[in-house]
Amino acid sequence: MTTELKRLIDQVSREKGIDRQTLIQALEEAIKSAIKKKFGSRFDLDVTFNEEFGEIEAFQFKEVVAHVTEPDKEVSLEEALRLDPESEIGDELGIRMGTETLGRIAAQSAKQVIIQKMKDAEREVVYEEFRNRKGDIVNGIVQRADKGGIIVNLGQAEAILPSKEQIPKEVFRQGDRIRAYLLDVKKISKGPQVILSRTHPHFVIQLFHAEVPEIAEGIVSIISAAREPGSRAKIAVISKNPDVDPVGACVGMKGSRVQNVVQELRGERIDIVPWNMDPAKFVVNALAPAIISKVIIDQANRSMEVIVPDDQLSLAIGKRGQNVRLASRLTNWRIDVKSETRYTRQKQAGYQALLKISGLTEDVADRLYEAGITSLHEFVEASLPELEEVTRLSQQAIAALREEAVALLREWESSSAADSREEEEGPKEVEEEGEPGADVDMMDTAGKDSPGD
């Protein structure tokens, strides 16, 4: 080993971005491994890199003894004195070995260890770089695609876009350029595994960061996002500057900014919603473009009952419930959308009585009400064919419901009869010293009404 080794270490460290000390330690381990492979593992070795001369020095330590029984571990006093005149029995003497004695096999072994250590160091550098970029958007080129996912070349590393993280019906071919959200980085034996996503809600957020200068500058913030990838997304935005409209900033001139994001997501529709600290107003904004009549909040259960005009019900709920589902995820509130007709109907005693029948859903109760069956009495007296047609249930199911309805009617009739007897008997006597009581009206305060916008 000559000064060329020092120059090589400096060059590799500079070009590969690997810590110089890491390379030196790898080199020392390589020589140590080569010596043990050549001469056996019984050697007590110390291998170091001499910075002054730019070479590797290997020392074999042996105990100074009067009579040598283990040549690999012991040295005679006579030989020790030739190497070090001050040697004594019991000393540990370091004997320098010439690396040229390692031979061809040992040198090859050392070379392989060095290469492996360099690869490990490079992988660690790559891992640290991508670990610090989690949550960013990365650009790459598709190398290949299979059932497990798409392999993407990011330059310094390969990444995988798993099938579940791909937008439905989206197709990429070898050589295509691709943008994705850096979801995670894992350490595996082959090197860092970079996992990408194009379905994560934060992918939309990062795309807007790239398109909207006001977001990059911190004037406009995206509070939350919800997606059904490939179909529709909602983002909630707020502005720190009252003169800057957060929705307008995200939309851009003639919709240019939002359209760039939509194109990247292959036509995914994006609703930009103004955030509001009042949860009722926030939910109203999130359900746009539907018009909201009333919002009833249940803070304890973090849920809202949203009342809309009958002609706005389908718009508020959305296709297959998509609009209300995304609004719920965006606001983190459970949302129950009802039409004004159903809301008014539910306040009526007859409708509530029908719902007392276990197994009879609101949808069935609605159909009964629309058919003119508005009480338990009318339900019991209605003909079986009529109930079959209205409820769309089997005869067996209807029979069970009617049986329960009859039981409820008997229970209420017995209760009413008992109340009548109490009224006829008059109030019970009270103790003379007792103070007169007072009737108190109790009101459920679990929820409160909030007017819609």
Residue 327 near residue 283 (C-beta atoms within 8 A) = yes
What fold is seen in the domain 201-338? GMP Synthetase; Chain A, domain 3 (3.30.300)
Alpha helices in 171-295 (DSSP H): 201-211, 213-216, 246-251, 256-264, 279-286
Which pLDDT does position 416 carry in this prediction?
61
Q: Under a CB-based contact definition with an 8 Å cutoff, are residues 366 and 343 in contact?
A: no
pTM for the full predicted model: 0.64
Peptide bond into 201 cis (omega under 30): no
pLDDT, mean of residues 417-441: 46
Contact 42, 72 (CB under 8 A): yes
Q: Which CATH class is domain 348-416?
A: mainly alpha
3-128 and 135-197 share one fold: no
Please give the pLDDT value at position 384. Answer: 85
The stretch 121-147 carries a mean pLDDT of 85
Task: Delimit the domains of the chain by residue range.
Answer: 3-128, 135-197, 201-338, 348-416
CA angle at residue 177 from 174 to 180, to 5 degrees? Answer: 110
Tens of pLDDT along 333-355?
999 998 888 888 777 777 777 77
Q: Residue 91 corresponds to which amino acid?
A: D
DSSP codes joined into one string, 284-328 = HHHTTTS---EEEEETTTTEEEEEE-GGGHHHHH-GGGHHHHHHH
Worst-scoring range by mean pLDDT, 1-15, 65-79, 141-155, 242-256? 1-15
The whole-angstrom separation of Cα 293 and Cα 157 is 54
Q: How many other CB atoms are there within 10 angstroms of residue 40's CB atom?
A: 9
The CATH topology of domain 3-128 is N Utilization Substance Protein A; Chain:P; domain 4 (3.30.1480)
Edge-first strand order for the sheet with 447-451 is: 334-339, 303-308, 294-298, 447-451
Query: With respect to CATH, is domain 135-197 assigned 2.40.50.140?
Result: yes
